[in-house]
Structure 1
């Protein structure tokens, strides 16, 4: 077992999300726990943030942990009152389990309206990220979150893995079956599925899946499309989480309580180029969403509050950070 030092947050936080990458040979797994220090100086209990293995035995969040200090909502510790510090504990079970990356995001979501950011460099940029529609997999392997119609997160991770030239080898895809338009999407769904949540949208589990194929990764919150643009201009596509009604995001043509997509570029006018797996087919996955509308549905505190997965090869540098969120 490894227990990290207590880390001061520097502000009163209300949410904590750890993320990790690890290798877990058959028969091994890891457990990630978090505890926090309240503003009154008292330590909470340890909360289990996930039990993880590549092979899926186990791969689960842990419900029913709520107490006077907080609770775990799938992948997020939600404090009942602000906390000012945290600790992480990692337990390894079985032989050969090895953590290769570990990060923690602590945040306090502002209850203020989203102020649109100004467009950045007036020069278009777009990364050549493969395009996968989750709906091309509707009805596939329904034990994993009901099939492809719900696979926005694994489809997005598969796209980013493909961009970096990473992912499962052909032998790992044999079980998917003939005629599948993109077996890597089905594999990602199987490899991110959370048994307790019964879904494929657990944020750290998606990062950990990408880590199987040599990518570094973490979950964090960004503050604006300007920060998104910095990543894209550094050559790194970013996976974002958002919720909206059809009219709130022109061009989307659907309503969602929670959706994952890949930001791949920006137009000369500053609008956001995405690979949206909610498109009905691969040919329609590329979309351009208005910058202000996209920021609103992505950043607002009633949604994800700016959640992203950042996945990149360890040798690829991140853009400079001035706000401490990566």
Structure 2
């Protein structure tokens, strides 16, 4: 809706036409069937898009869904009102990747889905919805709640004979490993990462291998195993480049740059970070953009460029606040201090 005075009449007329159309659909009994078709269409669109979100076409499909996100929200409102459990589970599962853009909204969607599905039997889609609730809780810093959801999802997967999506399960096991690390249980963290690495190498899922070892590598260098961490992060970056998914490449670039900074290899860090802006251009990935600016903040601080650091830190704060990412905000505050 435009605020320009010369457009006011035109937009008022469009609103009138919309209301008239809705009244006619109600009068003829066509509104409910049309809403059903809309729900089926946009749920199917999200399910189709997620098939491409781990590959080289991920940015195009990511933007495709975001361009229609207002319609998807409208579908979600209808699904809730009609208590369409099956559609709710499908939509929640398909939108898992997009919760990185807004963890608060993702949490609301996942919790509402689990409420609708409270009496549903265990299924792969129920595992995915439970996992989504855990993932969003984790992003928002509700770590105990997140762990409870993840353990519940693993238990459900056990009941259904391990039929849940391997990518969902891989993310879940990775988060449990990070949680174990945060508690100081380093042996458990390494065991979880090693088990996931074994599973994904057997499957041959290069994206999931790369995601697992980038997080495992971070833990290794934080434990003082710099060479092991360096090797893992380098392999992750090579794999992500081969897969071609922009989100994964960006994560691998910033995580590898961070290790260069810790090791005092500032020029090497800068050479990786310079690759990020072209990947971020028109990508609609605020979480990755915030992480990029956080790495740039660290580099500028290491170089003593305080003005540059402050500029990047402000942008990182803005992105992490918008997405709700707890760990990112925590790192922002550490840099500010």
- TM category (shorter chain) comes to under 0.3
> Which structure's CA Rg is the greater one?
2
Structure with greater proportional helix content: 2
Which of 1 and 2 has higher RCO (CA within 8 Å, sep 6+)?
1
What is the TM-score of this pair, normalised by structure 1? Answer: 0.25
What is the TM-score of this pair, normalised by structure 2? Answer: 0.25
Structure with greater proportional strand content: 1
